[in-house]
Amino acid sequence: MGGFLDPAILFFVFGMAAGLLKSNLDIPHPISRFLSLYLLMALGLKGGFALAKSGFNAEVAITLGAALALAFAIPALAYYLLRRFLNGFDAAAVAATYGSVSAVTFITAVQHLDNLGVAYGGHMAAAMALMESPAIVMAVVLASYVRRQSAAGAMPVPGTLRRVLHESLTDGAQLLLLGAMAIGMATGAAGEAVMKPFSVDLFKGMLAFFLLDMGLQAARNMGGLRGQSAWLLVYAVVAPLAHAGLALLLGWALAMSVGNTALLMVLAASASYIAVPAVVRQTIPEANPSLYFGMSLGLTFPLNILFGIPVYTEVARRVLGA
């Protein structure tokens, strides 16, 4: 029950309640955007400061390699399963959504580990950045293949891939995260002392405010789940657990630390509700947005925030013996 006693999580619950009650409580989009950028910047700085202390070592390389492996394996597995009860376009879109990651889920997990005093590496923020794009690229390739199979006039794969890769690599939020991490590494302990009021003292309050907005959005997007196959609802609940299990297996096999394994499990279990839906809506217009957006934001995101993060952390502690 520790997660429920965290003020940030309680604000998420409050936001969901207000949304379900159809309250007119609303966080203006520019403020929500600012909060998102602040959290990514603060996370990047914290990761950079930690990397300045530890340096780039074998553990960092192994962890990033595991993250990249999951980033390709999860969307491939998802598409294989989803194709059994969805058309090719919807299967590719949902696979991309669940194969990518949620920055807010990751940031909430970082805060949870901080509250518990569980150590983790600053490079996990880089792992999050690495895991965002592969699923999108795979989805575009799969959708182009489906178009060819249906003789509907395939979109040229090379041009599409170039555009997707450019958008992924130059996305403002991701660049800010990596840039802040680089600045944190370059400035080290001196920079950490100067930025502490910004990146540490304000972090909890900003996260609570942002999770309030996310609670409102989650409640208001649950409507997208109405009328969907029961198998999709099962997938939205079971798939994150299976993906977290894959990450746990990797963490155990590679002798990763408890904190790093827990965060890898959170990343594997999360689903994108901002970056991927925005790209998929443009590159796979045949897919149903209410399906992949409703599943990720309306069901998987709340489950991970309320239950998943503490469960993944406790499982990692028990399995890895810490």
pLDDT digits (tens, 9 = 90+) for 123-134: 898 898 888 888
pLDDT digits (tens, 9 = 90+) for 135-188: 888 887 888 778 777 754 444 444 555 666 566 566 677 788 888 889 998 999
List the domain boundaries for the chain.
27-202+221-319
- CA atoms in the 13 A half-sphere facing the CB of 135: 35
pLDDT digits (tens, 9 = 90+) for 53-110: 877 788 889 999 999 999 999 999 999 999 988 888 899 999 999 999 998 999 999 9
Dihedral angle, C-alpha 150, 163, 100, 29, nearest 10 °: -110
Structure tokens at 55: 């340096």
Report the candidate in 132, 108, 130 with the shortest Cα–Cα distance to residue 262: 108
pLDDT-based confidence at residue 304 (cuts at 50, 70, 90):
very high
CATH 1.20.1530 assigned to domain 27-202+221-319? The reply is: yes
Predicted pLDDT of residue 268: 96
Radius of gyration of the chain from its Cα atoms, rounded to whole angstroms:
19
* Rounded distance between C-alpha atoms, residue 26 and residue 224, angstroms: 19
134-149 vs 157-170: helix crossing angle, rounded to 10? 160
Predicted pLDDT of residue 156: 47
Average pLDDT along the chain: 85
Name the phi and psi angles at 255, rounded to 5: 55, 40
Share of the chain above pLDDT 90, in %: 41
